[in-house]
């Protein structure tokens, strides 16, 4: 009589029809896609587990809380949006600052369209702890965006540099441009175009 040895799977990590192994990157990508389709408010550990075809416990192995997962989804959104931003900056470096801002505005609107138009309003609808945490992650990303705008501003040789004083310092202008781009993309309004015309009149 032959004896066969086999390893018994750990029943704590296996469920019928469920995957037993998944990377945190795969979980994040699935969460991102779910947020694209249904909004940030749809995200929960259970919904992500179902989308990944894994147990809830498997998701918790990578993310200790829903807040952590939402933070990474928000971070991924801005990272992808800024990837296009950096391409835009490289293409317009040393050229017209307003043309750069126009390209950046379009890039941001396209990113929001890919994700969800109500992405920004979704943030305000999260629980207070999730919202504050996500906003903190956003602000970290926004530092890079404002730095890119400032770089483009200082790189335009036609701008009257003596105009960049008082309320029109490079840092102040970069913050104003970025906040206007966000508002314009969120509300689908032409605030950005109005600002660009004002800046063109004031700086050139």
**One-character DSSP codes across 71-131:** HHHHHHHHHHHHHHHHHHHHHHTTS-HHHHHHHHHHHHHHHHHHH-TTHHHHHHTS-HHHH
CB 114 within 8 A of CB 32: no
Is there a single domain that holds both residue 93 and residue 38?
A: no
Task: Give yes or no: residues 145 and 163 share one domain.
Answer: yes
Domain boundary among 64, 79, 104: 64
Q: Which CATH number covers residue 24?
A: 1.10.10.60
Same structural domain, 71 and 31: no
Chain mean pLDDT for the chain: 80
Question: Has residue 94 got a pLDDT over 90?
Answer: no
pLDDT tens across 111-127, in order? Answer: 777 665 556 566 666 67
Q: In this structure, is residue 154 part of a structural domain?
A: yes
110 located within any domain:
yes
Q: Is 49 found in the same domain as 147? A: no
In a domain, 4, yes or no: no
The number of distinct structural domains making up the chain is: 2
**Pair (55, 81) in one structural domain:** no
Residue 8 lies in a domain: no
Same domain, 128 and 156: yes
Residues 52 and 151 occupy one common structural domain = no
Helices 66-92, 24-38: axis angle to 10 degrees equals 80
The C-alpha angle with vertex 174 and arms to 168 and 180, in degrees rounded to 5, equals 105
**In angstroms, what CA-CA distances link 103 with 24, 45, 92, 93, 153?**
33, 37, 9, 12, 14
Shared domain for 194 and 128, answered yes or no, is yes
For residue 170, being part of any structural domain is answered with yes
Domain carrying residue 102? 66-203
Smallest Cα–Cα separation from 52: which of 77, 32, 80? 32
Residue 54: phi, psi to the nearest 5? -135, 170
Predicted confidence (pLDDT) at residue 6 exceeds the cutoff of 50: no
Q: Is the pLDDT of residue 134 over 90?
A: no
Q: Are residues 50 and 103 in the same domain?
A: no
Is the pLDDT assigned to residue 12 strictly greater than 60?
no
Same domain? For 89 and 187 the reply is yes
* Residue 48 in domain: yes
Percent above pLDDT 90 for the chain: 31
Say yes or no: 112 and 192 in one domain. yes
In a domain, 3, yes or no: no
pLDDT at position 172 over 70: yes
- Distance between CA atoms of residues 132 and 138, nearest Å: 10
pTM value > 0.75: no
Residues 165 and 149 in one domain: yes
Confirm whether 57 is domain-assigned: yes
pLDDT of res. 38: 83
């Amino acid at each position: 009589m032959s004896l066969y040895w086999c390893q018994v799977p750990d029943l704590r990590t296996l469920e019928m029809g469920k995957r037993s192994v998944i990377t945190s990157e795969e979980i994040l990508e699935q969460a991102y896609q779910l947020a694209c389709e249904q909004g940030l408010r749809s995200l929960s550990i259970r919904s992500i587990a179902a989308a990944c075809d894994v147990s809830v416990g498997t998701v918790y192995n990578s993310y200790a809380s829903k807040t952590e997962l939402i933070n990474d989804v928000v971070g991924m959104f801005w990272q992808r949006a800024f990837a296009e931003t950096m391409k835009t900056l490289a293409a317009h470096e040393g050229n017209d600052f307003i043309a750069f801002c126009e390209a950046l505005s379009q890039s941001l609107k396209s990113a929001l369209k890919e994700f969800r138009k109500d992405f920004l309003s979704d943030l305000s609808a999260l629980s207070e702890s999730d919202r504050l945490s996500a906003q903190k992650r956003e602000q970290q990303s926004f530092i890079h965006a404002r730095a890119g705008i400032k770089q483009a501003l200082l790189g335009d040789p036609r701008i009257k540099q003596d105009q960049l004083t008082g309320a029109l310092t490079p840092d102040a202008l970069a913050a104003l441009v970025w906040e206007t781009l966000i508002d314009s993309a969120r509300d689908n309004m032409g605030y950005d175009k109005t600002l660009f015309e004002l800046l063109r009149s004031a700086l050139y």
